[in-house]
Amino acid sequence: MLDYIASRYDQFLKDLETIVNIDSGSRFAPGIRKIVAFFQDRFSNLGWYTQTPSFADGDVPCLEAANVNPHAPDVGFDFLFLGHMDTVFLEGTAKKRPFSIDGKHAKGPGVCDMKGGLVAVLHVMEALQHFGITDKLSLCGGFNSDEEIGSNASRSWLEEMAGKSKRV
């Protein structure tokens, strides 16, 4: 498994660069929708169920991705991975400070909080699927876009997913 993960390093960096270079401030829904589309495409390519709930009249787009049908009766998740797509940075920041690598450090708006974490979740899920581990576990990822401003609009959705999960 370690060799597989190591072989995906360049793809990880490419994915991180892609989403870091998208402005996604909490109140910039157009950018967040691009990030939702990026992750939705990748999870859909795995054959996962994806939903894009939106809150606050469309200003808080979110993503739910699961390897089991989340609408099935009595569905539950062994693991729920949560993360947020929004940043504290204003529109235009990604253009002024695009993704870069300086030695061993990746830089850019949201690299650590939390875009690197989102890409890590995606790559973990892809690795688990590659090795057939997802055949034995029910997994879900929930990515909201209002965390930096309190998760007020998405809170009940997050709580609902957590309530169906053994581990969050």
In the residue annotation, 86 being an active-site residue is answered as yes
Residue 15: Cβ within 10 Å count: 21
At 139 the three-state DSSP class reads strand
Q: What beta strand segments (E) does 85-148 contain?
A: 100-102, 105-107, 139-144
Residue 134 one-letter amino acid:
T
**77 membership: H or E segment, kind and range:** strand 77-84
Active-site option among 15, 86, 126, 148? 86
Structure-token pair, residue 140: 């879900």
Token output for 145: 């876009």
Q: 126 an active-site residue?
A: no
Instruction: Write out the H or E segment, with its range, that includes residue 121.
Output: helix 116-130
Which of 15, 17, 64, 147 is labelled catalytic? 147
Catalytically active residues, by annotation: 86, 147
